[in-house]
Amino acid sequence: MNVGEIVEDALRYPLSDWKKVLIYGFIGLFTTTAVFRLFFAMDGLTNPGLILLLVFLELIVSIYFTGYFLQVIKLSLSDAKKLPQFNEVKEKLSDGIKVFIVGIVYMLPIILTISIFAILSEVALGIIINHAINNGFNLENILSILLNLGIGIGIFLAIMYMIVILPLFILSLVHMADNDSALVFAFKFHEIFNKIRGIGWINLISWYLSSGLIFLAILTFLGTFTLGVFSLLDSIDIGGLLISVVIVPYLYMYFARSSALIYMKKIGE
């Protein structure tokens, strides 16, 4: 399978069972407390206990949603053509927790980067304020600009980090899935990089860029078209709902499937 065939296979994969795509999308809706509140007519909820309950439910649904993503990877590694069922809840929750842990580890550099730049900005602000107090010059807009600039640089570096690290993060999940979901395999970087060398860096980059373009194209064109049509009908909320229930789960399934297929590829195939 070359990269083009992998992309084609992964694009067709969710289309084999639209019912499951829609169910997956519907589950994804409840990964935010806002939807929970709206669905249960509790939009004005202020009770701390109920708010904590909703947050807990959101977390459970998010873990299950992520666990299903890993299940798609597992089935794809076994060359199955069908999408996973929504049973085996315990296994999906277990897999989801592991994916969350891996994600947190990979996110730590981003959190640290933004935090460091925010702290540095605050330190700089303190220096300017002290200087202003002593010398009396006008601080008009300087404080907010400096703070926003520091945080902005941190966010920019974080985005660059995400772009570079994302394929490694995805392949670490696949490597974990390929080893009975054992968490330790997500951090066996020597094995993961050996696998990448077997895939070929050019093949991996080609898949990553192709998938990125597909993601942008589907989300931009179909998403914009959907919102545009329903805004004309004065039903933009329905357009947003369709994007969440159809386009987003489709993209999740595409990435799970294609990452498993590229993982199994070897140079020369």
Rounded-to-10 torsion of CA 252, 171, 163, 82: -20
Q: What pLDDT, on the 0 to 100 scale, is given for residue 112? A: 79
Tell me the C-alpha to C-alpha distance, in Å, between residue 14 and each of 8, 17, 92, 107, 214: 11, 6, 19, 28, 14
Count H helices and E strands in the chain, helices first: 11, 0
Distance from C-alpha of 37 to C-alpha of 51, rounded to nearest angstrom: 9
Which residue type occupies 242?
L
Q: How many CB atoms lie within 10 A of CB 158?
A: 18
Exposed / middle / buried, residue 73 (Cβ in 10 Å: 0-12, 13-18, 19+): buried
Tens digit of pLDDT at every position of the chain (269 positions): 789 999 999 999 999 999 999 999 989 888 765 555 555 555 555 667 776 777 788 889 999 999 999 999 999 999 888 999 998 899 999 999 999 999 999 988 877 776 776 666 555 555 555 555 555 444 545 555 555 555 666 677 778 888 889 999 999 999 999 999 999 999 999 999 999 999 999 999 999 999 999 988 888 877 676 666 655 555 556 666 777 788 889 999 999 999 999 999 876 55
For tokens 């795509």, what's the residue? Answer: 21
The single residue listed with the structure tokens 């966010």 is 155
Alpha helices in the chain (DSSP H): 3-12, 18-29, 33-39, 48-77, 89-135, 142-177, 189-199, 201-217, 223-232, 236-242, 248-264
Phi, psi angle pair for 2, to nearest 5°: -85, 175
Record the tokens describing residue 133, joined without a space: 């107090």
pLDDT of 70? 96
Give the C-alpha separation, 52 to 46, whole Å: 10
Q: How far are the Cα atoms of 32, 156, 162, 251, 264 from residue 248, in angstroms, in the given order? A: 14, 25, 19, 5, 25
Q: How far is 139 from 189, CA to CA, in rounded Å?
A: 49
Distance CA 96, CA 90 (A): 10
Looking up tokens 């987003």 gives: 248
Dihedral of CA 43/41/88/254: which sign?
negative
What sign for the dihedral angle of Cα 242, 245, 251, 257? Answer: negative
